[in-house]
Amino acid sequence: MAMNLRLTEDETTALRARAEQEGRSMQEVARAAIAQYVTGRPQRLQSAIDRVRTEDNELLDRLSK
């Protein structure tokens, strides 16, 4: 399915820079970001971070000193 995506100038600049950095097209980077978003990976990652923070709170506290 074809789709038009309207980005601000800043968003376009950031997307272009990231694509160039990774040696990929802007479309590839945008599609990967969308795939990551719809799979809920950011939420799962945050949940994992929160779990480690809770379960290892004492250790993390000692390491921070």
Percent of the chain with pLDDT over 90: 46
Residue 10 has, within 13 A of its CA and on its CB side, a CA count of 0
pLDDT at residue 21, as a whole number: 96
Give domain limits for the chain. Answer: 9-63
Closest CA to 27 of 15, 9, 40: 15
d(CA 12, CA 17): 8
State pLDDT tens for residues 31-43.
999 988 888 777 8
pLDDT tens profile 50-62: 998 888 888 888 8
User: What residues contact 26, with CB distance under 8 A and at least 6 apart?
Assistant: 15, 16, 19
pLDDT confidence bin for 22, thresholds 50/70/90? very high
Is the sign of the CA dihedral 22, 28, 29, 33 positive or negative?
Answer: negative
